[in-house]
Amino acid sequence: MDTLRVGVIGTGGIGAAHVRRVAEFAVGATVTAVNDVNEPVATKVAESCGARFEKDPHALINAKDVDAVIIASWDRTHEEFALACIAAKKYVLCEKPLATSSEGCRNIMDAEIKGGRRYLDVGFMRRNDRWYRQLKEAVDSGEIGRPLMIHAQHRNKAPQGEKHTTEMSAQASLVHEFDICRWLLDDEYESIQLVHPRSSKNADPDLIDPQIVYLTTRNGVRLDLEMFMNGWYGYDVQCEVVAENASVRLPDPANIIWRKNGMCGYAIYPGWAERFADAYAAEIKEWVANVKAGKCCGASAWDGYMASLSGELATRSRLEGGAIVKFPDVKKPDFYK
Ligand code: NAP
């Protein structure tokens, strides 16, 4: 394949950025068609990259000038569009969450298994972050010994866009932690518990914030994950893997050190787009290269399913007053091994 022709559904914040990334970072790919319910914005994005605007997302998926699709529209549209891509036998990079329920993710897995081959990657771009990759290399090398604990934290300055609820925080935002920790450990979760302190006065009445999730894995690792949407001071993602012989953790931002007004310090990131800019670029670059080689190498529909299930069970735990909830005994299909 000389040039991979990409169609993009959803040209809001991340969709428009992915369109730019295809032009800037991918080798041998071009965006040929874009779709969004917001026609004026999508038309502008189309003009910016020489693509055409396609009013019907299903027509885009089935178009002759589209070889592969990026889904970056609202969460609740992902399942429908992912299923349509699989039916059309087109490679697809679907933004997280794969679907708004674990049942929806299962539908996608079933369709892919029935189709006999993988077409879908989920946009869990932390797997493309150089620092998370270094953590993974350290774990996989065995040099640190067997992992025992993970301490992780995901703090936002303040929620943006759509009104943020308690459930969204535990499902849409923590979904990244659920995925990356499974990936780091190459292990599955066994139980989950969600607890919370009193809520910050900065949080909306519909949002309990922060929330803390405790997980255990089948291999006996314990994790504590903090999700704090109204952290106020900036965007701060931390992760430490504590193992038998060593502990490894993400670095703080590599920024120049200021000494001013009796203080010493460095700037931290204002948001996820800045913190993970390189990871998104790598994600798009690698996805294009893999699709051109006929491969899917990113997070799979199974990973999307496990992340969704974790969010649902976390919410169940909260509704049951912080009860410890067991994961069902689901087995990874051979198809995804
Ligand atoms: P956004 O700025 O609101 O953009 C979403 C776009 O999709 C909007 O332009 C929206 O139209 C459009 N849309 C809604 N329904 C549609 C439909 N049926 N068909 C086509 N387009 C439709 O949101 P965003 O921040 O870019 O998020 C988009 C997706 O990416 C979400 O699923 C989100 O969870 C995911 N995301 C992932 C990450 C990550 O870290 N991987 C980060 C951010 C977002 P309107 O303008 O009319 O609303």
**Which residue, judged by its Cα, is nearest atom 7 of ligand 1?**
73
pLDDT on residue 171: 86
Q: What percent of the chain has a predicted confidence (pLDDT) above 90?
A: 96
Ligand 1 nearest-atom number relative to CA 9: 20
Residue 105: which residues within 8 A CB-CB, separation 6 or more?
79, 98, 99, 301, 304, 305, 308, 309
pLDDT at 161 over 80: no
Q: Check pocket membership of 9 for ligand 1, CB cut-off 6 A.
A: yes
Q: Is 162's pLDDT higher than 80?
A: no
What confidence tens digit (pLDDT) does each residue in 73-117 have?
999 999 999 999 999 999 999 999 999 999 999 999 999 999 999
Is the pLDDT score of 251 beyond 80? yes
Q: pTM above 0.85? A: yes
User: pLDDT at residue 1 above 80?
Assistant: no
Q: 255 C-alpha to center of ligand 1: Å? A: 31
Q: Which residues contact 117 (CB under 8 A, 6 or more apart)?
A: none
pLDDT band at 270 (very low <50, low <70, confident <90, very high): very high
Nearest to 239 by CA among 169, 135, 125, 130: 135
pLDDT, residue 142, reads 97
Read off the pLDDT of each residue in 6-19 and give the average, rounded to a whole number. Answer: 98
Q: What is the structure's pLDDT at 55?
A: 98
Tell me the CA–centroid distance for residue 45 and ligand 1, in Å. Answer: 14
Give yes or no for a contact between 309 and 327, defined as CB atoms under 8 angstroms apart: yes
| pLDDT reported for residue 256 | 95
What value does the mean pLDDT take over residues 162-182?
A: 92
Structure tokens at 145: 């010994």
pLDDT band at 254 (very low <50, low <70, confident <90, very high): confident
| pLDDT given for residue 125 in this prediction | 98
What is the 99 CA–ligand 1 centroid distance (Å)? 13
Alpha helices in the chain (DSSP H): 13-25, 39-49, 57-62, 78-87, 102-115, 130-141, 166-168, 175-185, 272-275, 277-292, 301-319
Question: In which band, very low, low, confident or very high, does the pLDDT at 31 lie, cut at 50, 70 and 90?
Answer: very high
As a whole number, mean pLDDT of residues 275-291 equals 98
Mean pLDDT of the chain: 97
